[in-house]
Chains A and B, each alone.
Chain A
């Protein structure tokens, strides 16, 4: 399915991440998946949260540079080769993944993927997997 991801600009400086998690905690927002991509100086934090609208508002109020992005979330079995199958299917259908992150729990893995055309990707996944 297509879900909303929060994308936040973070400086690579101690305390910055904590400031963000503090705001989410105070607003009773749960993080279900996250990834931080970073360079030496700054990072881009991407996360799936329980209430993206509320989170966006709270972080904007705290003057974070933040936006929501459509991403594709899929489940696949937590077994060797499952991720490969998924990616191969997408690639064979001309879909490029800009970035992805995921976690597994209780036998299934959940993948979050940023894809230029999420609708088409969903269609392919539904028809092929």
Chain B
């Protein structure tokens, strides 16, 4: 393991210090959301839990969960705990309907976010000597801006490249002597391919040392491939916009799990079917409570991500709890090139298209290193048979809706009726062929 600095002394608290700060902040957060957010007041009341019941972090499990659905039901700003005047930034991610999940930040939230990222990039090896190229898409998604601020905060030189235009990415990398790459793991692999096609040997002609990957899960096999292709050291970081964006946790150079910034985010592992809190080390669904956010405090958010927690002290010297790589999803959410998509969203889009039947199948696979999605639908309206033009228009209409509503590029296959599999009970609509085999 390579030696590197620890950004904040909070990362080396002992368990008692964590307990103390978590308890104080939790009590404060619960009080605030009860007073400021009608959704939480109603929910706590219905759940039969009062603000006074929450005295320490031990009482956390008395509180009701928050789910993605709650964001949808309170679209756009219903979960905010501060007046709009105090908001300095909005971000959004795709929701389970056409409406995105909207998040907001106060000035203090922005400072905290930068601080969280500063910790994570530091543990991934980055210092103020580094030139960091951010190849996440800039925009409503939290990834690019989140890393951007934190990297600037530690004094690294940031190149706000955004995603796409891969040949230019490689050129800039070469000319600006980029030492740290920030992207999704699949895009990193794709970029390496393009570099080689351009006659650039990433190991000899470029200067990369660190790769900070997030936005989608990855496997150890993928890490090996990235390390091998770029000659860098790849780490993974974790977050989601509902919680803050990137910055919830990140891997240190020991590569034995992602350190959660637990003085700001309290993790729990639950049985996704029963909601019961599982003991230390058990595998289950990750639930996170934010305890320092002002604009959008979130109580016991069900992330749907399956992982486990390890409280042992890490080789790197940090004491913050580590979460294992995400091994799956407790629901069927798909992450396609960093974009979250629920099959239900695709279903909704398809249901609103005339001419096709109610059955569909979603196939996901890797083409090169990129995620490709195909949607099979059945053509039931014979009026589209008048010409290929009509069929092609129908195909384009579906593609266009999937792109505008969900932000995904899918290939649409028109099938004969009765050719897609029918299901009794729970349908298996998604065939994900990306699994690491």
Contact = CB atoms under 8 A, between A and B. Distances in A.
Interface of A: 7-11, 16, 37, 39, 41-42, 44, 63-67, 69, 98-99
A67 B382 contact: yes
A89 B341 CA distance: 55
Interface size class of B (residues with CB under 8 A): 10 to 19
Contact of A65 (B379, B386, B388, B413): B379
A14 B415 CA distance: 13
A65 B391 contact: no
25 contacts: A7-B382, A7-B385, A8-B385, A9-B382, A9-B384, A9-B385, A11-B415, A11-B416, A11-B419, A39-B388, A41-B413, A42-B414, A42-B415, A44-B385, A44-B391, A63-B417, A64-B417, A65-B381, A65-B382, A65-B385, A65-B416, A67-B383, A98-B386, A98-B387, A99-B387
Contact of B388 (A10, A37, A67, A69): A37
Interface string B409-426: 000011111110000000
A96 to B, nearest CB: 12
Interface string B374-412: 000001111111111001000000000000000000000
Contacts of B379: 9, 65
A48 B418 CA distance: 25
A99 B417 CA distance: 25
Contacts of B388: 37, 39, 44
A69 B414 contact: no
Contacts of A63: 416-418
Nearest to A11: B416
B386 A9 contact: no
A119 to B, nearest CB: 18
A8 B384 CA distance: 10
A41 B382 contact: no
Given A9-B414, A44-B391, A98-B387, 12 more contacts: A9-B384, A9-B416, A11-B416, A16-B416, A39-B388, A44-B385, A63-B416, A63-B418, A65-B382, A65-B417, A67-B382, A67-B383
Nearest to B414: A42
Q: What secondary structure prevails in chain B residues at the interface with A?
A: mixed
Q: What secondary structure prevails in chain A residues at the interface with B?
A: strand
Contacts of B417: 63-65
A99 B386 CA distance: 10
B413 A64 contact: no
B389 to A, nearest CB: 9
Nearest first, the 10 A-B pairs at minimum CB distance are: A67-B382, A63-B418, A7-B385, A63-B417, A11-B416, A65-B382, A65-B379, A44-B385, A9-B379, A42-B414
A95 to B, nearest CB: 16
Contacts of A37: 388
Given A9-B379, A11-B419, A42-B391, A67 B414 contact: no
A67 B385 contact: yes
Contacts of A65: 379-382, 385, 416-417
Contact of B386 (A16, A41, A64, A69): A69
A43 to B, nearest CB: 10
A17 B132 CA distance: 57
Given A65-B380, A69-B386, A41 B416 contact: no
A11 B388 CA distance: 13
Nearest to B392: A39
Contacts of A42: 391, 414-415
From B379, B382, B387, residue with most partner A Cβ within 10 Å: B382
A10 B382 contact: no
A65 to B, nearest CB: 5
B306 to A, nearest CB: 36
B416 A64 contact: yes
From B385, B413, B415, residue with most partner A Cβ within 10 Å: B385
B374 to A, nearest CB: 11
B379 to A, nearest CB: 5
A10 B416 contact: yes
Contacts of B386: 7, 69, 98
Contacts of B418: 63
Contact of A41 (B384, B385, B414): B414
A117 to B, nearest CB: 14
Contacts of A10: 416
A113 to B, nearest CB: 14
A3 B51 CA distance: 79
Contacts of A67: 382-383, 385
Nearest to A39: B388
Contacts of A66: 382
B289 to A, nearest CB: 49
Nearest to A20: B416
A11 B415 CA distance: 6
A84 to B, nearest CB: 24
Contacts of B415: 11, 42
A16 B414 CA distance: 14
A16 B418 CA distance: 12
